[in-house]
């Protein structure tokens, strides 16, 4: 799809990933009931894709220990595509048993980051995706498999990550059986030029099988990067309400691009995301109660949406 045809479409979709990417970086633990209320409110605001947890051992991420229960609630919502992160085959088996409609398998394009975080090389992850595909097909499941290529723009351990390596791994994930792939700026290294360059090359290589752009706002470029990706034809974006998530290397830094800000930007550009922005702002308010010790980020909440012009009561000179 070209940028021109995307402009003709003028539709985009945001996947709320706060319940996974956001919460996994915070010390606070949100109760299962509050997570379900979060899903309900986001759904009522028009959200139709949500990543609701991670199939990792509870002792590693106690914040996400209730992923199965949260996923079951999400799956009860008609028309909601509920995804979970699965780091390996065991996680995928849990996800399939729990009825996940989409599984995101993270791969770090930075070898150093991959070894440090996943204790696997990127190509080990590609091989795991092939095993996950075989198990999914054998189970007769139609759950999507998404290869999430992280640190696609660089990382704190390795510095630069070559575009050629990102593209090679993306293609390898698809060849191994992933249904689609996403590109993630995991630690805020991307800028609009590098986003445009990499997404253009990636889309030339795999077309619409590159589905989602995932940006962190660590250095304040999340929205600009999302816009750059949109201009290359990307119409699916990950985001977190309240910009939660943070960055382990930068205490206090904002996390993922902020859902309500991104939804508002799309709306101002005349792009239909199906989201009710004032309802998202109300949900953001409720998050203060669920995360009393955490800082929320974003800009829109401070000024609110631009209201319709009011009849002026001032006397013009």
Which residues are annotated as catalytic? 247
Nearer to Zn ion, 101 or 218 (CB): 218
- The residue range among 20-28, 43-51, 98-106, 161-169 that interacts with Zn ion, by the rule CB under 5 A, is 20-28
Counting contacts by CB under 5 A, is residue 294 touching Zn ion?
A: no
In whole angstroms, how close is the CB of 256 to Zn ion at the nearest point? 6
Residues 25 and 244: their CA atoms lie apart, in Å, by 8
Residues 240-259 that bind Zn ion (CB under 5 A): none
Nearer to Zn ion, 21 or 49 (CB): 21
Binding-residue pattern over the window 73 to 92 for Zn ion, x denoting contact by CB under 5 A: --------------------
Nearer to Zn ion, 141 or 151 (CB): 151
Residues 186-215 that bind Zn ion (CB under 5 A): none
Residues 290 and 266: their CA atoms lie apart, in Å, by 27
Residues in contact with Zn ion, total (CB under 5 A)?
1
Cα distances (Å, whole numbers) of residue 261 to 14, 125, 203, 214: 11, 33, 26, 15
In whole angstroms, how close is the CB of 21 to Zn ion at the nearest point? 4
Residue 149 near residue 105, CB atoms below 8 Å: no
In whole angstroms, how close is the CB of 25 to Zn ion at the nearest point? 9
Residue 192 near residue 149, CB atoms below 8 Å: no
Counting contacts by CB under 5 A, is residue 21 touching Zn ion?
A: yes
- Report the candidate in 211, 208, 213, 206 with the shortest Cα–Cα distance to residue 183: 213
Residues 170 and 85: their CA atoms lie apart, in Å, by 17
Mutual orientation of helices 89-97 and 122-138 as an angle, nearest 10°? 30
Counting contacts by CB under 5 A, is residue 146 touching Zn ion?
A: no
Cα distances (Å, whole numbers) of residue 207 to 4, 39, 78, 167: 15, 31, 29, 12
In whole angstroms, how close is the CB of 173 to Zn ion at the nearest point? 17
Cα distances (Å, whole numbers) of residue 60 to 13, 51, 65: 31, 18, 9
Nearer to Zn ion, 96 or 181 (CB): 181
In whole angstroms, how close is the CB of 308 to Zn ion at the nearest point? 36
Mutual orientation of helices 277-290 and 32-44 as an angle, nearest 10°? 170
Nearer to Zn ion, 222 or 233 (CB): 222
Nearer to Zn ion, 6 or 188 (CB): 188
- The residue range among 17-25, 133-141, 224-232, 283-291 that interacts with Zn ion, by the rule CB under 5 A, is 17-25
Q: By Cβ distance, which residue is nearest to Zn ion?
A: 21
DSSP string, 243-256: GTT--TTSTT---B
- The residue range among 19-27, 164-172, 277-285, 300-308 that interacts with Zn ion, by the rule CB under 5 A, is 19-27
In whole angstroms, how close is the CB of 251 to Zn ion at the nearest point? 17
Q: Which residues bind Zn ion (CB under 5 A)?
A: 21
């Amino acid at each position: 799809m070209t940028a021109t045809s995307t402009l003709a479409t003028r539709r985009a979709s945001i996947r709320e990933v706060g319940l996974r990417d956001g919460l996994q970086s915070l010390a606070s633990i949100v109760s299962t009931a509050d997570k379900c209320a979060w899903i309900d409110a986001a759904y009522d605001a028009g959200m139709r894709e949500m990543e609701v947890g991670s199939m990792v051992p509870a002792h590693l991420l106690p914040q996400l220990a209730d992923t199965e229960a949260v996923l079951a609630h999400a799956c009860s919502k008609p028309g909601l595509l509920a995804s979970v992160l699965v780091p390996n085959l065991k996680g995928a088996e849990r996800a399939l048993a729990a009825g996940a409609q989409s599984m995101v398998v993270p791969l770090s394009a930075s070898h150093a980051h991959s070894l440090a975080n996943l204790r696997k090389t990127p190509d080990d992850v590609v091989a795991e995706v092939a095993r996950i595909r075989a198990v999914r097909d054998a189970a007769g499941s139609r759950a999507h498999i998404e290869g999430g290529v992280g640190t696609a723009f660089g990382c704190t351990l390795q510095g630069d990550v070559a575009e050629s390596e990102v593209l090679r791994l993306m293609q390898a994930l698809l060849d191994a059986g992933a249904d689609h792939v996403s590109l993630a700026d995991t630690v805020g290294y991307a800028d609009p030029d590098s986003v445009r360059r990499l997404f253009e090359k990636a889309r030339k290589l795999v077309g619409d099988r590159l589905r989602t752009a995932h940006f962190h706002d660590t250095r304040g470029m999340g929205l600009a990067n999302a816009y750059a990706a949109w201009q290359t034809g990307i119409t699916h974006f990950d985001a977190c309400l309240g910009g939660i998530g943070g960055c382990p290397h930068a205490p206090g830094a904002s996390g993922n691009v902020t859902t309500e800000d991104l939804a508002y930007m799309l709306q101002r550009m005349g792009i239909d995301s199906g989201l009710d922005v004032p309802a998202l702002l109300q949900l953001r308010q409720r998050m203060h109660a669920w995360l009393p010790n955490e800082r929320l980020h974003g800009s829109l909440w401070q000024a609110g949406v631009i209201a319709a012009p009011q009849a002026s009561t001032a006397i013009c000179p």
